[in-house]
């Protein structure tokens, strides 16, 4: 057992462990970019299965397969409930799956002939504890998330005015160049503001407690903010049912007046089969804005986008009169007014009432429900009792009912 544990002194394992620690504790805070995001995945996926394989050398294959499967689950939307329940944090990015190559490297490394490293037992115990700390630190939740979300001040309002389900795909992903530029702008503005405050007469007290590390703290705060923003810096797919509306929070803080929409910003509307119905890039999206004062740097605003023609309200009076349809059905010849309904096929008269775009006809045997899908002065479309639509035209025969 001691000999197996000595494999924790493997140079490759130690390098990956040190990279994992430095990246999570220092590099992500100071730099936080695409590289630091991927570095943890590559280092962690090498160190983690190797560590457990040392502890359970008879289960090396099972451990590496389990790590692969769990990482795929971890980086998928299906793990959201699991992540929230345990108060953990992770960013869904399918490009992270490339880091699974580290699991293969770990497996191949462990399959090689066992090398006995001559190290003191106290050093092995230190590596063991350091490994546990490193694996725990990389999955810790971030308390700043809730505070940052509370500061969101801009929302996208999507409204599906069609009678079919659609899928809205929102690409609100900043490029690495944009992130670097915006971070530099934010840091410069905050540092200039801070220096201006401590150099003023009112800032005399601040100068007494000023520390050179204050500048580093400001840089860290900006990096932390962008780290949290990464959760929303992605492509989202949202299902909109017929005539459904939804609000989507945009990752724009109230103080982000220097940050606009990503250059690649795009909204696609798809049908349930994935066919593109309509698309808007950044220029086309803002061209639809009626207010000239509403732009990508506006804050505390709602950006509206409606798909489909807005349904006109039904005027009941347009339905009144005598109607005929070529379709088959008990009600293919009817006459309607505000209170009564006549079935011209048999001459029976029933009470009726209206509710929004529905008409309820009370016969002696049952209540017939008709969904009025179209009502104009010359045509009428009604679906009776969830059956196929009947298309009516106004009859030229004399009416019996008054309006």
State pLDDT tens for residues 315-346: 888 889 999 998 888 899 999 998 999 999 88
pTM, two decimal places: 0.42
Compute the distance between CA of residue 370 and CA of residue 343 in angstroms, rounded to an integer. 14
Please classify residue 292 by burial: count the beta carbons closer than 10 Å to its beta carbon, then call 0-12 exposed, 13-18 middle and 19+ buried.
exposed
Split at pLDDT 50, 70, 90, the class of 207 is low
- Count of C-beta atoms within a 10 Å radius of residue 286: 15
The lowest-confidence range among 148-162, 277-291, 316-330, 358-372 is: 148-162
Q: Are 38 and 96 in contact (CB under 8 A)?
A: yes
Residues 6 or more apart in contact with residue 385 via CB below 8 angstroms: 368, 369, 370
DSSP-derived 3-state class of residue 359: strand
Compute the distance between CA of residue 369 and CA of residue 350 in angstroms, rounded to an integer. 13
Q: Are 305 and 159 in contact (CB under 8 A)?
A: yes
Nearest CA-CA partner of 107 in 151, 171, 60, 150: 60
Tens digit of pLDDT for each residue in 219-237? 877 887 777 676 666 677 8
Please classify residue 38 by burial: count the beta carbons closer than 10 Å to its beta carbon, then call 0-12 exposed, 13-18 middle and 19+ buried.
middle
DSSP-derived 3-state class of residue 368: strand
Residues 6 or more apart in contact with residue 262 via CB below 8 angstroms: 171, 172, 173, 174, 175, 178, 282
Partners of 168 in beta bridges: 238, 269
Nearest CA-CA partner of 75 in 45, 105, 48, 46: 45
Compute the distance between CA of residue 195 and CA of residue 22 in angstroms, rounded to an integer. 30
The residue written with tokens 């540092």 in the block is 191
Compute the distance between CA of residue 261 and CA of residue 305 in angstroms, rounded to an integer. 16
Q: Mean pLDDT across the stretch 348-359?
A: 89
Tens digit of pLDDT for each residue in 297-314? 887 778 888 888 766 667
Looking at the chain, the whole-number percentage of residues with pLDDT higher than 70 is 80
| The predicted structure's pLDDT at residue 227 | 72
Split at pLDDT 50, 70, 90, the class of 194 is confident
Q: Residue 336: CA atoms inside 13 Å, Cβ hemisphere, count? A: 26
Please classify residue 350 by burial: count the beta carbons closer than 10 Å to its beta carbon, then call 0-12 exposed, 13-18 middle and 19+ buried.
middle
Please classify residue 365 by burial: count the beta carbons closer than 10 Å to its beta carbon, then call 0-12 exposed, 13-18 middle and 19+ buried.
exposed
| The predicted structure's pLDDT at residue 62 | 93
Residues 6 or more apart in contact with residue 330 via CB below 8 angstroms: 343, 345, 384
Tens digit of pLDDT for each residue in 125-180? 888 888 888 877 665 544 433 344 445 567 888 888 888 889 988 888 888 888 88
Strand 155-160, strand 245-249: pairing:
antiparallel
- Count of C-beta atoms within a 10 Å radius of residue 220: 14
Nearest CA-CA partner of 323 in 339, 338, 348, 342: 342
Nearest CA-CA partner of 37 in 260, 182, 229: 229
The lowest-confidence range among 140-144, 278-282, 369-373 is: 140-144
| pLDDT of 355 strictly over 80 | yes
Residues 6 or more apart in contact with residue 210 via CB below 8 angstroms: 198
Partners of 263 in beta bridges: none
Compute the distance between CA of residue 27 and CA of residue 6 in angstroms, rounded to an integer. 29
Q: Residue 255: CA atoms inside 13 Å, Cβ hemisphere, count? A: 11
**Extents of the domains making up the chain:** 2-141, 155-307, 316-394
Q: Are 166 and 271 in contact (CB under 8 A)?
A: yes
Compute the distance between CA of residue 316 and CA of residue 338 in angstroms, rounded to an integer. 8
Looking at the chain, the whole-number percentage of residues with pLDDT higher than 90 is 15
Q: Is the model more confident about 163 or about 360?
A: 360
For residue 382 the two structure tokens come to 């009604």
Helix axes 101-111, 60-74, angle to 10 degrees: 170
Partners of 335 in beta bridges: 322, 342
């Amino acid at each position: 057992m001691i000999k197996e544990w000595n494999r924790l002194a493997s140079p490759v394992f130690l390098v990956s462990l040190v990279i994992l620690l430095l990246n999570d504790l220092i590099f992500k805070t100071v730099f936080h970019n695409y590289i630091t995001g991927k570095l943890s995945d590559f280092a962690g996926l090498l160190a983690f299965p190797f560590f457990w394989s040392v502890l359970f050398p008879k289960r090396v294959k099972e451990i590496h397969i389990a790590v692969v499967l769990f990482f795929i689950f971890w980086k998928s939307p299906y793990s959201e409930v699991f992540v929230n329940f345990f108060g953990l944090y992770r960013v869904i990015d399918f490009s992270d799956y490339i880091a699974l190559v580290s699991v293969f490297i770990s497996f191949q490394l462990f399959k090689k002939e066992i090398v006995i490293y001559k190290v003191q037992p106290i050093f092995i115990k230190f590596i063991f504890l350091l490994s546990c700390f490193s694996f725990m630190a990389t999955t810790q939740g971030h308390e700043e998330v809730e505070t940052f979300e509370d500061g969101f001040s801009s929302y996208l309002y999507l409204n599906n005015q069609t009678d079919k389900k659609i899928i809205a795909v929102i690409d609100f992903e900043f490029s690495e160049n944009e992130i670097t530029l915006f971070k530099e702008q934010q840091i410069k503005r905050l540092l200039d503001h801070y220096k201006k405050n401590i150099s003023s007469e009112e800032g005399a007290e601040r100068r007494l407690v000023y520390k050179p590390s204050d500048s580093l703290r400001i840089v860290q705060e900006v990096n932390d903010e962008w780290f949290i923003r990464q959760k929303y810096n992605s492509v989202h797919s949202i299902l909109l049912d017929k005539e459904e509306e939804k609000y989507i929070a945009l990752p724009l803080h109230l103080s982000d007046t220097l940050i606009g929409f990503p250059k690649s910003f795009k909204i696609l509307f798809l049908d349930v089969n994935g066919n593109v119905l309509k698309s808007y890039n950044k220029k086309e999206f803002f061209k639809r804005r009626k207010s000239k004062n509403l732009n990508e740097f506006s804050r505390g605003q709602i950006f509206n986008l409606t798909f489909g023609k807005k349904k006109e309200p039904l005027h009941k009076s347009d339905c009144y009169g005598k109607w005929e349809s070529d379709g088959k059905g008990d009600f293919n010849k009817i006459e309607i007014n505000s209170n009564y309904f006549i079935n011209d096929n048999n001459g029976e008269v029933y009470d009726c009432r209206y509710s929004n775009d529905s008409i309820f006809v009370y016969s002696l045997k049952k209540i017939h429900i008709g969904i009025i899908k179209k009502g104009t002065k010359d045509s009428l479309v009604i679906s009776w009792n969830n059956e196929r639509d009947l298309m009516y035209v106004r009859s030229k025969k004399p009416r019996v009912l008054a309006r």
